[in-house]
């Protein structure tokens, strides 16, 4: 518990100095730790290095300011320690795989980082068990290891309306564990019945009928939507599945969302079967 409280003080120190130069030595000294011990404990409890946490928090705060501040992106970025336009663009693109100008134009949902909570709480999520009818999805295969970065590209480039021929369609993130290559295969697209536009570069995925556990992510804002989605998946995996009478079966898992709705909630479909006794 002492480590949690001390790292909490380190996070408070970082948050208070996001607009200032911050060295690891300064943070460690502020909480009475050696740099080595601080780095080790921070990574263990937060899951990020201090430098990575500071970078993600600064970029996230800049994005939040872009929503309400009429100043140029460069002016806002400079306020948070980026000493040149090029440095910020490079950091933003490395984090989200799209340019800041692409984001400002499309306002797509990004995985943003609020202040880290050492004691997060998970509320109970309602779950429906349904027998899903089969359907097909016309989708682009991901070229990113991290699905949120592929969503950024998909939304910023208007690929949903390219597929639909200009109409607003429901987007599906489709994933399947590739045991042979030990990685997650991921695609994003729309139902085949709605794909009346340019399908170049897509594949057709057959979503089988079967039993699915269906979850709706909790209410969120533009700022914390992607983080809420990730927390929901963690809840399903670590809380709901161990407690329920169901277990995962190997099939496509689905994330269903309409970016244009700006409702910041998605539906998750997990293929399940009753646990064997």
Higher pLDDT, 2 or 189: 189
Averaged pLDDT, 197-221:
93
CATH topology assigned to domain 127-274: Multidrug-efflux Transporter 1 Regulator Bmrr; Chain A (3.20.80)
Alpha-carbon torsion 213, 214, 216, 222, what sign?
A: positive
Q: How many residues does the chain have?
A: 277
Q: CB within 8 A of 128, min separation 6: which ones?
A: 213, 214
Beta bridge partners of 140: 188
Tokens of 147: 């699905």
Q: Rounded to whole angstroms, how far apart are CA atoms 204 and 121?
A: 39
Residues 84-97 pLDDT 10s: 889 999 999 999 99
Is pLDDT at 104 greater than 50 in this prediction?
yes
For the chain, what are the domain ranges? Answer: 2-106, 127-274
CA 54 to chain CA mean position, Å: 18
Residues 34-55 pLDDT 10s: 999 899 888 888 888 999 999 9
Please tell me the predicted confidence (pLDDT) of residue 118: 60
Q: Rounded to whole angstroms, how far apart are CA atoms 101 and 156?
A: 10
Is pLDDT at 120 greater than 70 in this prediction?
no
Higher pLDDT, 150 or 72: 150
Angle subtended at Cα 99 by Cα 267 and Cα 145, rounded to the nearest 5 degrees: 50
Tokens 């910041």: give the residue: 264
Q: Rounded to whole angstroms, how far apart are CA atoms 174 and 176?
A: 7
Comparing 159-168, 203-212, 223-232, the range with the smallest average pLDDT is: 223-232
Q: What is the 3-state secondary structure (H, E, C) of the chain?
A: CHHHHHHHHHHHHHHHCCCCCCCHHHHHHHHCCCHHHHHHHHHHHHCCCHHHHHHHHHHHHHHHHHHHCCCCHHHHHHHCCCCCHHHHHHHHHHHHCCCHHHHHHHCCCCCCCCCCCCCCCCCCCCEEEEEECCEEEEEEECCCCCHHHHHHHHHHCCHHHHHHCCCCCCEEEEEEEECCCCEEEEEEEEEHHHCCCCCCCCEEEEECCEEEEEEECCCCCCCCHHHHHHHHHHHHHHHHHHHCCEEECCCCEEEEECHHHCCCCCEEEEEEEECCC
CATH of 2-106, one of 3.30.70.270, 2.40.110.10, 1.10.10.60, 3.40.50.280: 1.10.10.60
Averaged pLDDT, 171-195:
94
Q: Rounded to whole angstroms, how far apart are CA atoms 188 and 151?
A: 8
Alpha-carbon torsion 35, 36, 37, 40, what sign?
A: positive
Please tell me the predicted confidence (pLDDT) of residue 208: 94
């Amino acid at each position: 518990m002492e480590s949690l409280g001390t790292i909490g003080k380190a996070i408070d120190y970082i948050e208070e100095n996001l607009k200032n130069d911050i060295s690891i030595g300064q943070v460690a000294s502020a909480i009475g730790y050696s740099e080595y011990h601080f780095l080790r404990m921070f990574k263990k409890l937060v899951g990020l290095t201090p430098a990575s946490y500071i970078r993600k928090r600064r970029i996230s705060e800049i994005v939040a300011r872009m929503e309400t501040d009429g100043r140029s992106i460069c002016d806002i970025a400079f306020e948070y320690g980026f000493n040149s336009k090029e440095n910020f663009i490079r950091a933003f693109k490395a984090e989200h795989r799209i340019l800041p100008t692409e984001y400002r134009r499309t306002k797509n949902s990004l995985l943003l980082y609020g202040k880290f909570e050492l004691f997060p709480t998970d509320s109970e999520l309602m779950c429906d068990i349904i027998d899903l009818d089969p359907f097909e999805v016309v989708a682009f295969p991901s070229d990113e290891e991290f699905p949120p970065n592929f969503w950024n590209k998909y939304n910023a480039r208007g690929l949903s309306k390219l597929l639909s021929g200009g109409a607003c369609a429901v987007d599906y993130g489709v994933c399947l564990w590739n045991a042979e290559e030990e990685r997650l295969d991921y695609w994003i697209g729309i139902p085949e019945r709605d794909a009346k536009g340019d399908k170049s570069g897509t594949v057709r995925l057959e979503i089988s009928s079967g039993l699915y556990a269906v979850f709706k992510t909790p209410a969120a804002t533009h700022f914390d939507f992607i983080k809420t989605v990730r927390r929901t998946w963690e809840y399903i995996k670590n809380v709901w599945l161990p407690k329920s009478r169901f277990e995962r079966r190997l099939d496509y898992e689905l994330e269903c969302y309409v970016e244009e709705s700006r409702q910041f909630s998605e539906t998750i479909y997990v293929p399940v079967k009753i646990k064997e006794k």
